[in-house]
C-alpha cells in the first residue's frame, strides 16, 4: 500500500465541476489507527493503481465484489463517521 503513497493522500479529493458521478472512500483501520480518504469525481493516480491491483488480486483469488444493498439500514454509518472524525 505504501508503494502508492496512499497513507500520504490528502483527506479529500473533490471535482466540484461534476454534479453527478462516482464517489470512493479509502478507509483503512488497524487496531486503534484509522485513516480515510474521500474522493468525489477526482481520484489520485496512486489510489486508482491500488484499486486496479486490488481488483486483480480479488479476481485471482476467485472472489467477487458485491455492492452493499441500498436498502440496508445505515449500512454506511461507520464509513461516514470515519470521514467526519478527520
pLDDT tens digits for the chain (86 residues)? 566 788 889 999 999 999 888 888 888 888 988 888 999 999 999 999 999 999 899 999 988 777 766 666 566 677 777 777 66
Q: Which domain holds residue 39?
A: 2-84
User: Which grid coordinates belong to 65?
Assistant: 465484489
Q: pTM (2 decimals)? A: 0.72
Report strand pairing: 33-40 vs 12-14: parallel
How many structural domains comprise the chain? 1
Amino acid at each position: 500500500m505504501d508503494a502508492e503513497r496512499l497513507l500520504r493522500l490528502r483527506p479529500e479529493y473533490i471535482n466540484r465541476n461534476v454534479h453527478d458521478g462516482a464517489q470512493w472512500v479509502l478507509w483503512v483501520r488497524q487496531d486503534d489507527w484509522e485513516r480515510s480518504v474521500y474522493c468525489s469525481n477526482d481520484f489520485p493516480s496512486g489510489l486508482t493503481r491500488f484499486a486496479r491491483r486490488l481488483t486483480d488480486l480479488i479476481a485471482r483469488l476467485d472472489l467477487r465484489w458485491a455492492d452493499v444493498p441500498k436498502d440496508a439500514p445505515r449500512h454506511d454509518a461507520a464509513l461516514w463517521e470515519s470521514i467526519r472524525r478527520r
